[in-house]
A and B are shown apart, each in its own frame.
Chain A
């Protein structure tokens, strides 16, 4: 009964380093998304995917890349980390890509990233 699994839980990077945040779900959900959470800002959408091979930008996509080669996995890539990307990152998934309305989103436990 894994649900949405994010790895790693914590990461420290130096400015300019690259890394990939992993997200996997075992619920056969079509829709997956990445949010970042910053103090006093709530959660903001970075990128989302409505199915394998289909991705699109959210509210704050700059500095991040995504791909969706399988239904289960939706990794988030930081190509050249910056201190402004210090944040907590959440991956979420929902059953259908028919909008976020009636499709309840399930969240992973988050990845806490610090960029020095």
Chain B
């Protein structure tokens, strides 16, 4: 069965430091992968998506993610974190008519 694992429940990063959030998926075919961000009390906003082609995808707010088939990973990165990036981040894989979400990683940003 398809699944998504986000190994880090909570990460704290200093403002201006780089960020990498990990995501591993289990899927038999070529996956369609997504990263969503949820600010406190808000809905989910799509950061970026991977369907096919270039394995490094660019998203909004300066985020990027790299699809690595050999590692079954789709890690999210940002070179310099801003305080406004503090939020919960969800990785997801498409399965038919649904999205399968990971359990999320909460990002805190320290000054």
Interface residues of chain A, those whose CB is within 8 Å of chain B, are: 4, 31, 33, 35, 40-45, 48, 50, 56, 58-59, 90, 97, 99-102, 104-110
B103 touches A41 (CB 8 A): yes
> Nearest chain-B residue to A90 (Cβ)?
B43
Is B44 in contact with A90, judged by CB distance below 8 angstroms?
A: yes
Q: Tell me if B43 and A97 are in contact (CB < 8 A).
A: no
Query: How far is it, in angstroms, between the C-alpha of A33 and the C-alpha of B34 when the chains are bound?
Result: 17
A-B contact pairs, 12 of them (CB 8 A): A31-B97, A42-B101, A42-B104, A44-B101, A50-B97, A97-B97, A101-B51, A102-B51, A104-B46, A104-B49, A108-B43, A110-B42
A100→B97 contact, CB < 8 A: yes
Are B32 and A100 closer than 8 Å at their CB atoms? Answer: yes
> Separation in Å of the A22 CB from the closest CB of chain B?
15
CA distance A90 to B103 in the complex (A): 15
B77-102: which have CB < 8 Å to A?
Answer: 90, 94-99, 101-102
Given contacts A101-B32, A101-B94, A45 and B99 within 8 Å (CB-CB): yes
Specify which chain A residues have a CB less than 8 angstroms from the CB of B32 in the assembled complex: 100-102
Which residues of B have CB within 8 Å of A59? 98
Residue among B36, B44, B45, B94 with max Cβ neighbours from chain A (10 Å): B44
- 1/0 contact string of B15-59 vs chain A (CB within 8 Å): 000000000000000001010100000111110010100000000
Q: In the bound complex, what is the Cα–Cα distance between A99 and B49 (angstroms)?
A: 15
A108 to B98, CA, bound (A): 16
Complex Cα spacing A88 to B54, Å: 35
Nearest to B91 among chain A residues (CB) is A42
Chain A residues, CB < 8 A from B49: 104
Q: Which residues on A sit within 8 Å (CB–CB) of B4?
A: 42
Chain B residues with Cβ below 8 Å from A99 are: 94, 96-97
CA distance A101 to B42 in the complex (A): 24
